[in-house]
Structure 1
């Protein structure tokens, strides 16, 4: 069964107002040099997180091609609880 975006939105208990990418882009634009993520001894600024998330998104586009997401729907990402897993979700 394929759900349209409108049907999917209607099934949610709340309204989606931002994508995860938009949530990260806001502090990346407002406070790019502030620390946005710490994982053990590693840390990244909001600007670095935004750049890494965009690189990951670009890699997905190169792998699956432009427009592929409209045909296949959402993409699930499985991984360990890590900085890389966090970045992949943006």
Structure 2
């Protein structure tokens, strides 16, 4: 039987997956195209800010609640949809 991760591990896993999947290190010229649907640069900034905030909190031994993990997951899911529309993720 597979044991569910604790809240800290779940948040760390979510952060790692998003950092790996989203194009945070792509040059701005490649993110901002001729015609954007939404603003992928701003979407990435919003997610990066949230991730950085949680990385600091986790380093300060703050334990996230399930609702906070869920909220961050939902934000990332919605941003990913916008990035996909702009061709920045598959």
Shorter-chain-normalised TM-score: which range?
0.3 to 0.5
Structure with greater strand share of residues: 1
Give the TM-score of the pair, scaled to structure 2.
Answer: 0.36
Give the TM-score of the pair, scaled to structure 1.
Answer: 0.36
Q: Relative contact order: is structure 1 or structure 2 higher (C-alpha 8 Å, sep ≥ 6)? A: 2
